[in-house]
Amino acid sequence: MLLEGKKGLVLGIANKRSIAWGIAQAVSREGARLAVTYQGERLEENVRELAESLNDPLILPCDVSKDGDLEALADAILSGFGGLDFVVHAVAFALREELDGEFLNTSREGYRIAQDVSAYSLTAVTRRMVPLMESRGGSVVTLTYLGGERVVPHYNVMGVAKAALEMSVRYLASDLGPKGIRVNAISAGPIKTLAASGVHGLSKMLEYHRTHAPLRKNTEQAEVGDVALFLVSSLSRGVTGEVIHADNGFHVMAMAE
């Protein structure tokens, strides 16, 4: 098994459709033991229920916008696991009203929230987990979307946050490379999850991807899970600062047939 004896942290499970859950399944299939988090009591039951199928998980609360939660998370993982081999950051949030209409109308508060939860949190989480990973190498993986590279209608403020997230991946990769810690992102094609449902016009987007991606299908949770498995395993030991597209090739197309 690729991850025998390895310990990982997965942030971002809300329900069984979550990309984070697809990743948790892929990495635990290969032997990893996981700490999984839930954002607030509202999601605790969902996460506990799903986590029953994992191998002796730690189940911990964490709101990434709260520094106190991040400190407590690092302490709990240190006492539960004694260290960490990888971190999966699959967290994003923007106010619903910012994901419709024009980017021009983005509010100051809407911009701040999207950047804080969806981009800055990668740095905030990584900083707290570095001491746990330092002595054993480590791999950090985050989730991004094509709307951070090019304009996707209605993705708006989240696209700007994803651009900041992707650049954070490169700066973190540079900072942490000398410690043997790698930082990469997966740019996933659209998948109908709770977060994606907040983007206006999602079903049109899914249809467009299915008919225009070179592989002529929509991205599946398990496909993203397997790319994450590669990125947290030693198979990718020479890869850092990278954004890998798991989108059935959609991003290479400039024009429809």
188 binds ligand NAD (CB under 6 A): yes
Member of 44, 63, 175, 220 binding ligand NAD (CB under 6 A) = 63
CB of 146 to ligand NAD, least distance (A): 8
In the complex with ligand NAD, the residue whose CB is nearer, 1 or 253, is: 253
Site string for ligand NAD, 21-50 (x = CB under 6 A): ------------------x---x-------
Contact range with ligand NAD by CB under 6 A, out of 2-10, 51-59, 137-145, 237-245: 137-145
Residue 40: other Cβ atoms inside 10 A: 9
73 binds ligand NAD (CB under 6 A): no
149 binds ligand NAD (CB under 6 A): no
- Which 88-107 positions form the footprint of ligand NAD (CB under 6 A)? 90-93
Q: Which residues bind ligand NAD (CB under 6 A)?
A: 12-14, 18-20, 39, 43, 62-65, 90-93, 117, 143-145, 188, 190-191, 193-196
